[in-house]
Structure 1
Amino acid sequence: MTESPILRRILLALGARDSVRLFRNNVGVAVYPDGSRVVYGLAPGSPDLIGLTSITVTPDMIGRRLAVFTAIEVKAPRGRPTDAQRAFVAMVQRMGGIAGIARSPEEAAALLAAGPGQVSS
């Protein structure tokens, strides 16, 4: 079996769980006829699936470090997030991640200081 059907099966199986949100992360380079290049995807070497898994911290986890998914949508002072951007931010917050809209470094720092699962603008 090739990678593509396995990936689809994983997305179907894990997508049914309320605590998991996975997204396909295509990574690569497109070369236009004029020779210019566009690099796409999260980062070179990043995995096929990225996302969030909501967990409940238990007593045996106290003192351990946990990574928290962070998503900051940057907007100009008068910029307005799209409905899709608002929905993505809300989903990350609902699942315990750090997410919000920032119009300055100070607003971005405030999002991080508020911590996981906090609702912001």
Structure 2
Amino acid sequence: MTPEHEIQNKIRVAVSQHGCTIFRANVGKIRLPNGRVFDTGLPKGYPDLFGFRHKDGKMFFIEVKNEIGRLRPEQITFQRFASRMPVLYGVARSPEDAIKIVSDEDDA
């Protein structure tokens, strides 16, 4: 089974070569030396990758899953939210899936 971070890295390269700027949403918490917890601030369910197409500035969001990965409830909530907005959203298990999401043939 391929780790999701490996799939993410391959997607980032492929999408970048496809005329897009793409970012990884680094999320998590860390305990600071003073004992406080620092949280990145992104909402639960925020997709792994996001960015925009150079040709038109259209934003996209990509949730990365491996072969057996499933969306968590918070990710389903974000998916529903994104489907009502003028952005591109999809779940990708490969660079090819991601290219289909950012290409969005209906939008061309």
TM range (shorter): 0.3 to 0.5
Q: TM-score, normalised by structure 2?
A: 0.45
Q: TM-score, normalised by structure 1?
A: 0.41
Structure number with greater CO (CA < 8 Å, separation at least 6) is 2
